[in-house]
Amino acid sequence: MPERLKGKTAIVFGAGSSGPGWGNGKAAAVLYAREGAKVACIDLSAEAAEETAHIITEEGGEAIAVSADVTKLDSINAAVGKTVDAFGPIGVLHNNVGVTHMGGPVELDEAQFQQSIDLNIGSVYRTSKSVIPHMLKAGSGAIVNISSLAGIRWTGYPYFAYYATKAAVNQATVAIAMQYARQGIRANCVMPGMIDTPLIYKQISSQYASTEEMVAARNAAIPGGKMGDAWDIAYAALFLASDEAKFVTGVCLPVDGGQSCTVMGPR
């Protein structure tokens, strides 16, 4: 059994899936456990967190499920406390929480814009605020933030707040990496491109006449002709979380099938 994270505790925010199948956070949590980590599966939905933790324990791994709201620091602190109590020092912080609201600055209402800030970049701030002191005490740690290709380029969708907040996640990751490099903490982010997860059927499909049209358009945007899946993101995150990436920090890694090298979005 591979053991790239043996002896480490990983806390995964957004470890549940928004529907049947594999979301990015769910896949990462399970893969971390398969590689030897003890995993705290954190999600707003207790049921979703428990489903992921159950998969891990059924496979012989160690996991706990905790419900937490990443827009509230007290809730995050409580989840971090439960993780430390259960498994000891946190070696890996994985941030996978986010929301997509369609609309430019004219169409988007202020409540949706504020929610995008609170969830997409606010979650990274709050979880880092809570977890980094533990990593500083231990003298080591790896942070993996899930950003988006939208953080660096137009992807074809009119989601102003998503572009802005994911760009913020990228630069926040760099800021953390540089500030804490001498303290043994690394921070990197993964920028997914077109990934076939349950979330796109809830938050992206409204831009198309049918889900079939959405899938076809997103597949066509990829040079190889097919979207990626949650495991593509999970394996990239695993590398960045592991000691194999001990000399990698401040990186924003596209996992997009080459889409960032093209000029067209999925329209």
Residue 146 belongs to what H/E stretch? Answer: strand 141-146
Distance CA 55, CA 218 (A): 29
Active site residue 32: no
Say whether 62 sits in a helix, a strand or coil: strand
Question: How far is 64 from 54, CA to CA, in rounded Å?
Answer: 9
Q: Which two tokens stand for residue 238?
A: 């695993």
Q: How far apart are CA 104 and CA 118, in angstroms?
A: 18
Please count the residues of the chain: 267
Q: CA angle 223-149-261, nearest 5°?
A: 35
DSSP assignment letter at 99: -
Q: Is 97 left (phi over 0), alpha (psi -120 to 50) or beta?
A: beta
Among 162, 180, 208, 235, the active-site one is 162
Q: Which residues are catalytic?
A: 162
